[in-house]
Amino acid sequence: MNPRTLLAGFTACSCLFACTPDKQTDGNATAPETGTPAQQTESVRNEPVTPIAPAVITDTAMVELGKKLYFDPRLSLSGFISCNSCHNLSMGGSDNLKSSIGHKWAKGPINSPTVLNSNLNLAQFWDGRARDLKEQAGGPIENPGEMAFTHELAVDLLESIPGYVDEFSAVFGTEAIDIDKITTAIAAFEETLVTPDSRFDLWLKGDDSALNDEELDGYKLFKSSGCTACHNGSGLGGNSFQKMGLVEPYQATSPVEGRSAVTGKDADRFNFKVPTLRNVELTYPYFHDGEAETLAEAVEVMGRIQLGRTYSEEENRQIVAFLKTLTGTQPRIDLPILPPSSDETPRPDPFGD
């Protein structure tokens, strides 16, 4: 079975709990309904959060090609920036910076979200402007503030490298390389970047000893105070757009406007895709402007501006302890060895000389 089918099935299943019909909701949060888990295996607890399914890789050659492209800095004008520069798989698929550094040290406008489990998102980017991973993957290559290349240059570059020509033709059955094939391969690799078997998932599957009392109390508080209205499903987020600052306005330090940039509707101003809380311990700093440096700070802000609730120090500690149980098994990556450039390969231009 292809991993997409498997995961799609899984997400549909989590929607039973998650008050988000068909993965698509814009706007108002409602409390999750906990229904009868029709497709769940009996051993999974009936909760608004469901476990992450492991990746099922059917097309190994495609995934390997996508991995090379993900790690290849030659897809940038400088020859120095790869997808992994800003979505570092040694650091939870993020760069741990407030906002990313792009071509010629450009300061990005927004915090880099993790690529881990991004296949579960209803759409990609904070404002959801890309429909899926394949559509997303073309963006950074030609973004002047990120990799500063063009799709044509990327294709020319790869076609000048015999190792890539052979590999593309083995995977796709045709010689010609195009941006569609490039983004298809990158997306196939990203589909494998899932993190199953977190301690919380083990608990969901029935292992009482997977969480200690503080962590379990933290989860109960997370649920009873309403965090699960927005952070639910297998990603604990990623399945709806919600207002940042529902009960109290949020003073962002970034100029971005959120979902309204895509829909043109004023009502969507400052709505953002709810970020996944999977591996959140690894993906600091937090929020689209990267202003919350610690989990304690993010939890304090969320409680106050989304729910009108001030947590005691102990309650905050419990929720943070729970959030840290969401760190799953990280994808094991053998660093790919990239095919060397040929004499014809355009040379990098790191300083714009």
Which residues would be at the binding site for ligand HEC (CB under 6 A)? 29, 81, 83, 85-87, 100, 102, 108, 110, 112-113, 115, 118, 121, 124-126, 133, 136-137, 140-141, 146-147, 186, 222, 225-227, 229-231, 242, 244, 246, 272, 274-275, 277, 280, 283, 286-288, 298-299, 302-303, 306-307, 319
In angstroms, give the least distance from the CB of 43 to ligand HEC: 27
Q: Cα–Cα distance between 217 and 324 in angstroms, integer?
A: 13
20 close to 74: Cβ distance less than 8 angstroms: no
Strand runs (DSSP E) across the chain, as ranges? 241-243, 271-273
Question: Which one, 40 or 306, has the nearer CB to ligand HEC?
Answer: 306
In angstroms, give the least distance from the CB of 117 to ligand HEC: 9
Question: Which one, 124 or 327, has the nearer CB to ligand HEC?
Answer: 124
b/e map 321-342, b = 16+ CB within 10 Å: bbbbbbbbebbeeeebebbebe
Question: Which one, 51 or 93, has the nearer CB to ligand HEC?
Answer: 93
b/e map 289-299, b = 16+ CB within 10 Å: bbbbeebbbbb
Catalytic residue among 146, 159, 215, 300: 146
SS3 for 349? coil
In angstroms, give the least distance from the CB of 46 to ligand HEC: 20
In angstroms, give the least distance from the CB of 33 to ligand HEC: 16
Amino acid identity of residue 52, one-letter, is I
For 175, the token pair is 């010689």
For 304, the token pair is 């106050």
Residue 297 annotated as catalytic? no
Residue with tokens 């040379």: 347
137 close to 182: Cβ distance less than 8 angstroms: yes
β-partners of residue 286 are 292
Question: Which one, 3 or 113, has the nearer CB to ligand HEC?
Answer: 113
b/e map 200-239, b = 16+ CB within 10 Å: bbbbbeeeeebbeeebbbbbebbbebbbbbbbbbbbbbbb
Question: Which one, 40 or 114, has the nearer CB to ligand HEC?
Answer: 114
Question: Which one, 10 or 222, has the nearer CB to ligand HEC?
Answer: 222
Nearest to 152 by CA among 61, 85, 86, 77: 77
Nearest to 94 by CA among 105, 102, 86: 86
Q: Cis ω on the peptide bond leading into residue 285 (within 30° of 0)?
A: yes
In angstroms, give the least distance from the CB of 214 to ligand HEC: 15
Q: Cα–Cα distance between 306 and 244 in angstroms, integer?
A: 7
In angstroms, give the least distance from the CB of 58 to ligand HEC: 20
Question: Which one, 40 or 110, has the nearer CB to ligand HEC?
Answer: 110
In angstroms, give the least distance from the CB of 61 to ligand HEC: 19
Active site residues: 146
